[in-house]
């Protein structure tokens, strides 16, 4: 039950990251038919978000505990990598009062960090469960 | 069963009760920590702005809508420009009480190369400047050369990199410290570079600026008043003696902002106090309600050998664990909102917002943590006292 709750929480957080990145905390929009640098960071976050959501959903439906733990490790590693996409791996706009700096980057960092923490808790819970069942 | 395991079972066995108590602790610590950081950030912002402006008086054209345009540029970072005749600078230098003065020239870039936004360009006099160079966080030696710029901390351009303004490649040679205001997104350069930029703008068909060359006009003059002179008096003399200009005392210019800030700070303090008191009262009620609910449980514990002291300790330990988890979660949640979104808070509030340093932030976190960790166990004292004194025989007989 505890692990199921963690699995659902992982999937919700990954979904928020994916949908939020191109809706309620999206980067700067298109201007005069021109995309700014942050647009590509947004695309990258959405792409990784889709993979995260897929992994989290698979993790809910697969019954084997060890595979669940393995998938949770994957979700954790991917979530941590998302934190470094905006501004580090892919440049954002020049001025830090633009939407990509004020909303997109902090929101991605916070949601990805929350996903990583949940996934880490899931990994630890899986490890404890595996140890107890031995 | 060990006491440690009993403690764990007692908390995890009643998840709704434990989570409700934890939720109160989360709200309490988040409000105390978040409120303290927001309040400190606003105070830091206004103090930094006052120091950063560096001047006692700023002289702008009267047409600058009674300070509003200058405030927009300084606080909100809204790019803008206004001009007055350059002869004003000479006249001001002859005014009694003026110690140092330095003129600045405001220019707004066409969209910079990377972003479709305008950038505020401030041309300053390298020889007389006393308000820009003292705030260089990344030092550069010597004077600014042609097409060399200094950028605010809010621009991601790094020292050594170039920025294209009106098609001209400008080399970044310095970066200013953060102020939490519109000054952070401005570009600073010399009048010679500004002339070059205007020329480049003209060649790109943007000729509106060519009539407003820094050879003929300036936007503002920063004045430092001599020791022993009354700043208000010097400003009044300038306003009386010169037409078309407005001398504004720097302090009075930010007074409006400081007043707004003081109202917000007071509201935050009231909110913190209200949430604290309310949380303490709720905890007290919840723990008092537990007395009846857990009488039988504690009577059984007494029969298996728990002393009164140990039972009281059990209740206190539960309260400490729940408060500890709640305080940590609340502080983390508030930190996840206040620090990453500081630029958003600044742009939405229109107030200077400069987050406190790590040490101060840790101090606020410690205060919030202590506030919660002390309040919870204190609220449970009555419950611990009552439960440790249950009449074991009577309670167990009642249950039969």
Q: Which region among A5-19, A43-57, B174-188 has the lowest average model confidence (pLDDT)?
A: B174-188
Question: What pLDDT score was predicted for residue B306?
Answer: 77
In this model, does residue B139 exceed pLDDT 60? no
Question: Which of the residues A31, A86, A94 would you substitute to probe the B interface, choosing the one with the greatest number of B C-beta atoms within 10 Å?
Answer: A94
Of B116, B157, B346, Cβ closest to residue A36: B116
* Of the partner residues B117, B184, B346, the one whose CB lies closest to the CB of residue A98: B117
- Among B101, B110, B190, which residue's Cα sits nearest to residue B149? B190
Choose among A127, A123, A132, A110: nearest CA to A45: A110
Question: Distance from A70 to chain B by nearest Cα, in Å?
Answer: 27
Q: What is the rounded distance in angstroms from the CA atom of residue B73 to the CA atom of residue B280?
A: 45
CB contact set of B128 (below 8 Å; sequence gap of 6+): B100, B101, B102, B103
Residue B136: is its pLDDT beyond 70? no
Q: Comparing A104 with B346, which gets the higher pLDDT?
A: A104
Q: Which two tokens stand for residue A83?
A: 């934190």
> Within an 8 Å CB–CB cutoff, is residue B10 touching chain A?
no
Q: In percent, how much of chain A has pLDDT > 90?
A: 65
Given this model, what pLDDT does residue B209 score?
56
**What are B236's two structure tokens?**
């009044």
CB contact under 8 A, A98 and B155: no
Residue-level pLDDT at B65: 54
The per-residue pLDDT for A48 is 96
Q: Which residue of B has its CA nearest to A88?
A: B156
Identify the pLDDT of residue A67. Answer: 92
Query: Could you give the dihedral angle defined by the CA atoms of residues B92, B95, B101 and B106, in that order, rounded to the nearest 10 degrees?
Result: -20
B315: which 2 tokens?
Answer: 């209740």
Q: Is the pLDDT of residue A49 over 60?
A: yes
B77, B156, B341 member nearest A106 (Cβ): B341
pLDDT confidence bin for B141, thresholds 50/70/90: low
* Domain carrying residue A50: 2-133
Q: Does B340 touch chain A (CB under 8 A)?
A: yes
Q: Report the greatest alpha carbon distance in chain A.
A: 63
pLDDT band, residue B33 (cuts 50/70/90): very high
Domain ranges of chain B: 3-48+258-399, 63-243
Nearest-CA distance B312 → chain A (Å)? 30
- Interchain CB distance below 8 Å, B112 and A91: no
B96-135 residues touching A, CB cutoff 8 A: 112, 114-117, 119
pLDDT of B351 > 70? The answer is: yes
For residues A1-27, average pLDDT: 91
Give the closest-approach CA distance of A105 to chain B in angstroms.
Answer: 8
Contact B156 A94 (CB under 8 A): yes
DSSP 3-state percent helix, strand, coil across chain A (nearest 5): 75, 5, 20
Q: Which of A93, A97, A107 sits opposite B77 (nearest CB)?
A: A97
Mean pLDDT calculated for residue range B104-121 = 70
Residue B112 has a pLDDT of 53
pLDDT in tens, B185-198: 888 888 888 888 88
Q: Shortest Cα distance from B336 to chain A (angstroms)?
A: 6
**A101 contacts chain B (CB < 8 A):** yes
3-state secondary structure at position B45: helix
pLDDT interval class at B137 (50, 70, 90): low
Q: Read off the tokens for A73.
A: 């490790």
Q: How long a stretch of residues is chain A?
A: 134
Cβ A94–B157 below 8 Å, yes or no?
yes
pLDDT of residue B328: 94
What pLDDT sits at residue B162? 84
The span from the CA of B234 to the CA of B225, in Å, is 8
Band (pLDDT 50/70/90 cuts) for residue A19 is very high
For residue B163, list chain A residues with Cβ-Cβ distance below 8 A.
Answer: 94
Q: Which residues of B touch A93 (CB under 8 A)?
A: 114-115, 117, 156
Is residue A112 very low, low, confident or very high in pLDDT (cuts 50, 70, 90)? very high
pLDDT tens, residue by residue, B204-243: 766 555 567 777 888 888 888 888 888 888 888 888 888 8
What is the tally of structural domains in chain A? 1
Return the higher-pLDDT residue of B316 and B211.
B316
Nearest residue, CB atoms, A31 vs list B116, B163, B340: B116
Compute how many other C-beta atoms are within 10 angstroms of the C-beta atom of residue B250.
21
* Euclidean distance between CA atoms B60 and B68, whole angstroms: 11
Cβ-based contacts of B346 with chain A (< 8 Å): 97
* pLDDT at site A98: 85
Residues of A in contact with B340 (CB under 8 A): 105-107, 109-110
Mean pLDDT of chain B: 80
* B397, two tokens: 């007989």
Which tens digits make up the pLDDT trace of B48-99? 777 777 788 888 888 775 555 666 666 655 667 788 888 888 888 888 888 8
CB contact under 8 A, A34 and B77: no
């Amino acid at each position: 039950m505890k692990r199921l709750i963690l699995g659902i929480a992982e999937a919700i957080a990954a979904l928020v990251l994916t949908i939020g990145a191109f809706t309620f905390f999206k980067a700067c929009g298109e201007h005069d038919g021109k995309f700014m640098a942050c647009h590509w960071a947004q695309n990258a976050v959405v792409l990784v978000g889709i993979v995260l959501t897929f992994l989290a959903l698979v993790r809910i439906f697969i019954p084997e505990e060890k595979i669940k733990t393995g998938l949770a490790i994957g979700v954790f590693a991917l979530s941590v990598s998302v934190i470094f996409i905006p501004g580090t791996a892919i440049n954002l706009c020049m001025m830090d009062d633009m939407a990509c700096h004020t909303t997109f980057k902090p929101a991605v960092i916070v949601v990805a960090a929350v996903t990583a923490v949940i996934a880490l808790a899931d990994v630890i819970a899986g490890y404890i469960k595996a140890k107890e069942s031995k | 069963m060990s006491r440690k395991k009993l403690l764990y079972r007692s908390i995890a066995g009643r998840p709704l009760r434990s989570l409700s108590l934890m939720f109160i602790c989360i709200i309490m610590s988040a409000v105390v920590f978040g409120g303290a950081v927001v309040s400190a950030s606003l105070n830091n912002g206004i103090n930094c702005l006052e120091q950063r402006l560096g001047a006692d008086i700023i002289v702008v054209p009267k047409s600058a809508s009674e300070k509003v345009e200058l405030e927009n540029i300084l606080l909100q970072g809204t790019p803008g420009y206004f001009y007055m005749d350059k002869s004003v600078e000479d006249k001001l230098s002859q005014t009694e009480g003026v110690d140092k003065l330095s003129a600045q020239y405001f220019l707004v870039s066409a969209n910079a190369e990377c972003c479709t936004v305008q950038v505020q360009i401030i041309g300053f006099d390298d020889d007389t400047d006393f308000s820009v160079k003292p705030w260089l966080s990344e030092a550069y030696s010597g004077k600014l050369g042609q097409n060399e710029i200094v950028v605010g901390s809010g621009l991601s351009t790094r020292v050594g990199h170039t920025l294209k303004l009106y098609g001209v490649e400008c080399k970044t040679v310095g970066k200013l410290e953060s102020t939490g205001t519109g000054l952070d997104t401005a570009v600073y350069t010399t009048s010679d570079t500004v002339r070059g930029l205007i020329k480049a703008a003209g060649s790109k068909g943007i000729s509106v600026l060519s009539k407003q060359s820094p050879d003929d006009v300036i936007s503002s003059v920063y004045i430092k008043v001599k020791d022993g002179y009354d700043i208000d008096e010097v400003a009044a003399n300038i306003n009386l003696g010169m037409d078309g200009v407005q001398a504004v005392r720097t302090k009075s210019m930010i007074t409006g902002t400081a007043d707004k800030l003081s109202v917000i700070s007071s509201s935050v303090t009231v909110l913190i106090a209200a949430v604290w008191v309310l949380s303490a009262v709720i905890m007290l009620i919840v723990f008092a309600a537990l007395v009846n609910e857990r009488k039988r449980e504690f009577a059984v514990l007494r029969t298996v050998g728990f002393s009164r002291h140990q039972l009281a300790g059990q209740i206190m330990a539960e309260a400490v664990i729940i408060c500890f988890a709640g305080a940590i979660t609340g502080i983390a949640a508030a930190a996840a909102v206040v620090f990453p979104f500081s630029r958003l808070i600044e742009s939405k509030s229109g107030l200077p917002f400069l987050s406190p340093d790590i040490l101060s932030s840790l101090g606020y976190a410690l205060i919030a943590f202590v506030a919660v960790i002390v309040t919870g166990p204190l609220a449970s004292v009555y419950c611990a006292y009552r439960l440790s004194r249950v009449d074991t025989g009577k309670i167990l007989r009642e249950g039969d």
